[in-house]
Amino acid sequence: MILETLLVTAPDWAVRHSTVLIPIVPLVVAPVLAMSPSGRLAWLVSIATTAASLYFALLTLAIVQSTTGGVISYHIGNWAPPIGIEFRVDSLNAMILLIVTLMGFLASIFSWPTIVAEISKEKAGLFLCAFLLCFAGLCGVATTGDAFNLFVFLEISSLSTYVLVAMGAGRDRRALPAAFDYLIMGTLGASFYVVGVGFLYAATGTLNMADIAAQLPALGANRSVQVGFAFIIVGLGLKAAMWPLHQWLPNAYAYSPSFVTMFLAATATKVALYALIRWMFTIFQPEFAFEQALFTWVLAPLGMAAMVICSFQAVFQTDIRRMLAYSSVAQVGYMILGISLGTAAGVSAGLLHLFNHALMKGALFMAVAGICLNVQGTTLRDFAGLGRSAPFTMTAFAIAGLSLIGVPLTAGFISKLQLGYALFEQGWWWAVLLVVFSSFLAVFYVGRVLQAVFFQPPANPSKLRKEAPLLLLVPLWTLALANLYFGIDASFPAGLARDGAVAALGLEAFQ
Amino acid sequence: MWTFILEHAGYWAIIALMMISLYIAFSAENLIKRLVGLSLFQTTICLFYVTLGKITGGTAPVLLPADMPKHAVDHGAAGAAVDGHLVAGGGERVADVVHVYSNPLPHVLMLTAIVVGVATLSVGLALIVRIREAYGSIEADDVRAIDIETALAQEAKLESDLKEATA
Amino acid sequence: MKGDHHMILRVIAKCLIPLIVIYAFYVQFHGEVGPGGAFQAGVIIAVALILYALVFGLTATMRAVPPWFTRSLAAVGVMIYAGVGFWALLSGGDYLEYQALFGEPPGEHHGQHAGIIIIEIGVLCAVSGAMTTIFYALAGRVAEIRDEDW
């Protein structure tokens, strides 16, 4: 309903150009910020920019939902595809765009206190410039309909991410090797993706995703198509932190500035997963024999391994950010498992979990960021007794943590339930047991933190501890309440996920 | 057999280079060497694309006067305008082109990929400079050893803090 | 500057640097009819500056072309590029639609000419600015390795 009002009130130019403006506005503002003399001004501008992107993303969603067929196609420079670059948004991207822009907006609001605390004020302009570039790149990946353009946007976001991660060096020098490892792995992932696109270009002679999809069935079991597909899956899997390819993630999340961790955890892997879904379902159809084999024998086992093994690893971490990072890899495992079913229910469960995971990990890392401001250190012992001295921050943390476990009445419960239904439908009851087991492990690692926070006395009472600033509490509680709200009335995200799955699989999958 | 191998000489070179560069990127302990491996990998991708775009006997893909439509010649041979005509003319325009041109698209793509590669390389080098300043070494195993030491020291300090607090 | 044995180097560099810059502009504007373009031209301009820095020292170069200038140049280049896109938007076309720049009917190509030339100038600024900034950033760090250790 809000979306309809938005559509009615929007000016004509905004309706016509909303798709292209989502990534372009931050891309244009970023160099201006690089020259901005005042950090605070840069911060205000970055909020306005992400807010504009959020507006255009909502508008795009409204347009997609109101048009029949639900596809917006925008031709850059008015060159018709497949020759020109096409920005193509359907229900699947519209959902991802909403997540990215919403998280970017909330992140930019609370960035100021953490920048002051962790990075010098003089560098704030450049830091926010890198943030906006990263944001623009992620939005770009989610809007573009051109395979090579996707690589360019992916690299824009990745390169600025390496810089952002390395900015954590002011607090802990281990951020530098972490950023370097991420650079090596991330670049290899993107390069694999390009090699794959090259093979597909050799086979089809086009780079437009819709056009590739149209040409592939005629090629049949073509060797170079299969090789290209393998390269693309590995490359994007690296970016999405699919289980054995996740080695860069824990360190990068643990040592980067807390603001960056929050933003990356909520968006970066999600966007890579979106690209994976786009390639697996829209471009290569699941009817291809080799793709069925991949789903059953590669993706599903990897997803399950991630769920169990990384949850185990999370249980044994003493640093809370590392623990949450391992848990992120485990959650990616749930999404991969849902996707690997290849059914409408599975994909929609995976997408729903993607949406909810952005909400809960965003809230968790934001709460940790708030604690970082005052307590130097993020180990379990630093968190002991915080429930009394910072009740608002820690209550939000607890809500998001419960959502991560999947307690009823939280968003996490709904998506795990959906995943369970989808697995049962396929007859994989043993996979349901694994999901339950992995959630049980989540009870352990989240429970450890909550027990320390609420039921233990502070380990070192002489340390200063207080509530996070209001600027941080507002976005934090927005996310925490969203976790509760979508746990009770999940119609909005579930509708988005269902539409997304329809867009990915085609309408007939639901009949 | 031999003709098959020789015809694909470019691809054999690409496969070999990719293997070598991947191995360097993963196995080298020296961070600079890792970056060299990565750069080599990206350059090999450029080679791969350019090989794809090569057409036997093709020249550089800039229209020669003989192939230009009448209007464009009057117009002072504007590249953009000619492109427009090629697109507008569609298939039949290509038929009456006198010269054979290589496919320009992979080249353009690789122009972008080269820029991305340069950016990656410079970010990587900048990171190495910072690592050298922070750790005094650019060997991955040294850095790892120092990190473990720091972690142990932090743990010990936490332990002693805790004792102080409880005492 | 000690020692005169760099004299030949310095004189030759002084002769070469203007030529390199002119060559860069040749590559830039010849890109319309032959191989070339703003990426290459930008790198060549940056090469001229780097050669100057290698021969005359980094401090002299930073005095001639200060780091804030190169950084702004890179940013301005991106803005020029994006600005053309927005100009097309404001003239009622799609993003980066050159044809719409002057609101011409199909068949006229002034917008196409102007659009691509302005874009290329933006790329030239961005690439040359970025390359020099990278060079400054890496060369400007104070080496804590003594000369004997190399």
Kindly indicate the confidence band of residue C132, based on its pLDDT and cuts at 50, 70 and 90.
Answer: very high
Q: In this structure, is residue B141 part of a structural domain?
A: no
Flag if C75 and A35 touch (Cβ within 8 Å). Answer: yes
- In this prediction, residue B53 carries a pLDDT of 81
Query: Torsions phi, psi of A462, nearest 5?
Result: -75, -15
Mean pLDDT across C5-34: 87
Give the one of B22, B127, B165 whose C-beta lies nearest to A179's C-beta: B127
HSE, side-chain direction, 13 A CA sphere, residue A375: 27
- Domain assignment present for B17: yes
A82 preceded by a cis bond (ω within 30 of 0): yes
Nearest in space to B38 (alpha carbons), one of B20, B51, B50:
B20
DSSP A196-241: HHHHHHHHHS--BHHHHHHHHHHH-S-HHHHHHHHHHHHHHHHHHT
C29, C108, C134, C144: best to mutate for the B interface, most B CBs within 10 A: C134
Confidence of residue C41 (pLDDT cuts 50, 70, 90): very high
Residue C149 has pLDDT above 80, yes or no: no
Task: Indicate whether B140 pLDDT > 80.
Answer: yes
Which portions of chain A are predicted below pLDDT 70?
A: 1, 289, 376, 459-465, 507-511
Among A100, A97, A121, A81, which Cα is nearest to A20's?
Answer: A97
Q: Which among A361, A363, A354 is positioned nearest to A478, based on CA atoms?
A: A363
Which of C32, C141, C144 comes nearest B78 by C-beta? C32
Q: Which is more confidently placed, A111 or B89?
A: A111
Inter-chain residue contact B80 with C113, CB threshold 8 Å: yes
Is A166 in contact with B127 (Cβ distance < 8 A)? yes
Return d(Cα C45, Cα C21) in angstroms, integer: 6
Number of A/B CB contacts below 8 angstroms equals 86
pLDDT tens, residue by residue, B147-157: 888 888 888 88
Task: Look at residue A510 in the predicted model and tell me its pLDDT.
Answer: 55
- In terms of residues, how long is chain B? 167
Question: Taking CA A141 as the corner, what is the angle to CA A138 and CA A147, rounded to the nearest 5 degrees?
Answer: 155
CA distance B82 to C28: 19
Of all residues in chain C, the one with the smallest CA distance to B62 is C34
Q: Residue C10: what are its φ and ψ, rounded to 5°?
A: -70, -45
Confidence grade of residue B88 (pLDDT, cut at 50, 70, 90): very low
- Within 8 A of C32 by CB-CB distance, chain B residues are 78-79
Domain span at residue B128 reads 2-54+103-136
Q: What is the pLDDT of residue C2?
A: 54
Interface test with A, best of C72, C80, C96 (most A CBs within 10 A): C96
**Residues C63, C57 contacting (CB under 8 angstroms):** no
Tokens representing C41 are 């031209």
Q: Is residue B36 part of a domain?
A: yes
* Closest Cβ–Cβ partner in A176, A195, A207 for B127: A176
- The owner of tokens 């009817």 is A287
Please provide residue B69's backbone torsions phi and psi, each rounded to the nearest 5 degrees: -65, 155
| Cα–Cα distance list, A50 to A7, A45, A47, A102, B147 (Å) | 19, 9, 5, 8, 37
pLDDT band at C18 (very low <50, low <70, confident <90, very high): very high
The number of distinct structural domains making up chain B is: 1
Least confident of A136-140, B3-7, C143-147: C143-147
pLDDT at B73: 46
Whole-prediction pTM value?
Answer: 0.91
Contact list, B105 vs chain A (CB under 8 Å): 207
SS3 annotation, chain B: CHHHHHHCHHHHHHHHHHHHHHHHHHHCCEHHHHHHHHHHHHHHHHHHHHHHHCCCCCECCCCCHHHCCHHHHHCCCCHHHHHHHHHHHCHHHHHCCCCCECCHHHHHHHHHHHHHHHHHHHHHHHHHHHHHHHHCCCEHHHHHHHHHHHHHHHHHHHHHHHHHHHC
Query: Taking the C-alpha atoms of A215, A220, A223 and A224 in order, what is their torsion angle to the nearest 10 degrees?
Result: 0
* φ, ψ dihedrals at A208, nearest 5°: -75, 130
CA-nearest residue of chain A to C130?
A31
- Residue B166 is assigned to a structural domain of this protein: no
- Indicate yes or no: CB of C75 within 8 angstroms of CB of A75: no
Q: How far is B77 from chain A (nearest CA, A)?
A: 21
What one-character DSSP code corresponds to residue B28?
A: -
Residue A379: list chain B partners with CB under 8 A: 158
- All structural domains of chain A with their residue ranges: 286-511
Q: Is the pLDDT of residue B78 over 60?
A: no
CATH number of the domain at B39, please: 1.10.287.3510
Are A275 and A235 contacting, i.e. CB atoms less than 8 angstroms apart? no
Helices marked H in C3-109: 7-30, 38-56, 58-64, 67-90
Answer whether residue B165 is part of any domain: no
Q: What is the pLDDT of residue B85?
A: 47
Residue B152's contacts (CB-CB under 8 Å, 6 or more residues apart) are none
Of A384, A379, A351, A381, the closest CA to residue A455 belongs to A384
Per the CB < 8 A criterion, the answer to whether A44 and A53 are in contact is no
Question: In 3D, which of A231, A239, A339, A331 has the Cα closest to residue A280?
Answer: A339
- At A507 the pLDDT is 62
Residue B75 is predicted with a pLDDT of 47
List the alpha helices (DSSP H) in A144-174: 147-166
| pLDDT given at position B105 | 86
Query: Which subunits count as partners of chain C given 3+ CB pairs below 8 Å?
Result: A, B
8-state DSSP, A319: B
Whether residue B63 is predicted with pLDDT greater than 80 in this model: the reply is no
| Separation of alpha carbons B159 and A234, rounded Å | 43
Residue B31 lies in a domain: yes
Least confident stretch, A101-105, C23-27, C145-149: C145-149
Contacts A459 to B, Cβ<8 Å: 162, 165
Instruction: Give the CA radius of gyration of chain B.
Output: 27
pLDDT value of position B32 = 92
Show Cβ contacts of residue A291 under 8 Å, excluding neighbours closer than 6 positions.
Answer: A229, A280, A284, A285
pLDDT at C144: 55
Domain annotation covers residue B160: no
Q: Inform me whether the C-beta atom of residue B151 falls under 8 Å from chain C C-beta atoms.
A: no
Out of C79, C88, C100, name the one closest to residue A28 (CB). C79
CB contact under 8 A, B79 and C134: no
pLDDT of residue B167: 66
